[in-house]
């Protein structure tokens, strides 16, 4: 082979090697496509005093909403934007349908709902029975609560509300929460009765969520029934107001208790 041919082969070889190296560098430098960030949840909070945060911090308005309420805590989480905080103390299922449902619209992508406790009104049963658990008034209040639970009305009404929410916000993920069993077992016959009524109410809330889900709504049920075990009224460190002489806080989640609700909902959103 001539010197000229040898030189030409070296030039071609060098050029090819350079091109290969360049391709390798370009390929190595090409950025890996990042996954787009999760969309910001357009959030509306509905419900009663548990959702409003009554008793967890100083009340901010006539609905007894507080800065420690779980909707406010969720708003502080990344990619959750609380657009409307409609929950109000004293609200029952009919109240949410009549006065809060309008806050939900087609742009809503997340709804939380805690309601049903005022339909059963366990607190009123306790208030009637606490002075004299053997009174006729107490017996009547307990029987009426048991009859209401047996009728299934609360569950039916709640399922209808969930479907109405889904109709107004077809892209929304609806997270329904229930209520913690409030008292340590065995404190008294009255507190055990309240615990049993709460457990029955929670079962109806769960059934309502399942019925709405079966009908096509994007509904997820999160139970708080046992989340307060070790921190019920009667324990050393309750996460519910334990002073029955303080109607603002009694049987309502403390700031820590509201954090337990937030964590339960965050677990639902992570799934």
**pTM for this model (two decimals):** 0.85
Alpha-helix runs per DSSP H in 60-152: 70-75, 93-95, 117-120, 122-129, 136-151
Q: What is the chain's alpha carbon radius of gyration, rounded to the nearest angstrom?
A: 28
Answer whether residue 21 shows pLDDT above 60. Answer: no
Answer whether residue 245 shows pLDDT above 50. Answer: yes
The CATH label, of 3.40.640.10, 3.30.70.360, 3.40.50.1110, 3.90.550.10, for the domain at 41-270 is: 3.40.50.1110
Q: Pick from 73, 72, 9, 81: which is nearest to 39 by CA?
A: 81
- Taking residues 209-214, report their average pLDDT: 98
Answer whether residue 3 shows pLDDT above 80. Answer: no
Supply the DSSP string of 48-115, one letter for each residue. SHHHHTTTTS---STT---TTSHHHHHHTSTTEEEEEE---TT--HHHIIIIIGGG--TT--EEEEE-
pLDDT of residue 24: 46
Q: Pick from 109, 261, 107, 91: which is nearest to 161 by CA?
A: 91
Q: Which of 32-46, 106-120, 236-250 has the lowest mean pLDDT?
A: 32-46
| Residue listed under structure tokens 């082969």 | 9
> Does residue 73 sit in helix, strand or coil?
helix
| 69, 260 Cβ separation under 8 angstroms | no
pLDDT of residue 48: 98
Q: What's the mean pLDDT when you consider all of the chain?
A: 88
- CA distances to 43, 47, 88 from 76, rounded to whole Å, are 12, 19, 20
- Taking residues 244-248, report their average pLDDT: 92
pLDDT 10s digits, 177-191 = 999 999 999 999 999
Residue 61 CB neighbours (<10 A): 11
CA end-to-end distance (rounded Å), the chain: 71
Residue 69 in tokens: 């309420």
Q: Domain ranges in the chain? A: 1-34, 41-270
């Amino acid at each position: 082979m001539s010197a000229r041919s040898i030189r030409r082969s070296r030039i071609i070889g060098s050029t090819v090697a350079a091109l290969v190296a360049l391709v390798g560098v370009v390929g190595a430098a090409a950025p890996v496509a990042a996954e787009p960030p999760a969309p910001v949840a357009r959030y509306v909070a509905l419900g009663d005093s548990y959702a409003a945060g009554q008793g967890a911090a100083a009340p901010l308005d006539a609905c007894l909403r507080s800065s420690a309420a779980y909707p406010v805590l969720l708003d502080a989480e990344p990619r959750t934007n609380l657009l409307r905080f409609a929950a109000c103390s004293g609200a029952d299922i009919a109240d949410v349908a009549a006065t809060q449902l309008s806050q939900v619209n087609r742009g809503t992508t997340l709804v939380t709902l805690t309601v049903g406790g005022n339909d059963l009104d366990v607190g009123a049963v306790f208030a009637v029975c606490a002075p004299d658990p053997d009174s006729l008034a107490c017996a009547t209040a307990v029987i009426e609560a048991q009859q209401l639970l047996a009728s299934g009305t609360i569950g039916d009404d709640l399922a209808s509300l969930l479907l109405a929410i889904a109709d107004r916000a077809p892209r929304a993920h609806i997270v329904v929460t229930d209520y913690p069993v409030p008292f340590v077992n065995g404190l008294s016959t009255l507190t055990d009765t309240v615990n049993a009524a709460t457990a029955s109410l929670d079962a109806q809330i769960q059934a309502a969520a399942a019925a709405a889900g079966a009908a096509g709504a994007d509904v997820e049920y999160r139970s708080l029934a046992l989340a307060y075990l070790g921190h019920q009224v009667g324990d050393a460190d309750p996460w519910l107001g334990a002073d029955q002489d303080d109607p603002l806080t009694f049987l309502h989640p403390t700031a820590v208790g509201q954090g337990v609700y937030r964590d339960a909902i965050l677990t639902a959103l992570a799934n």
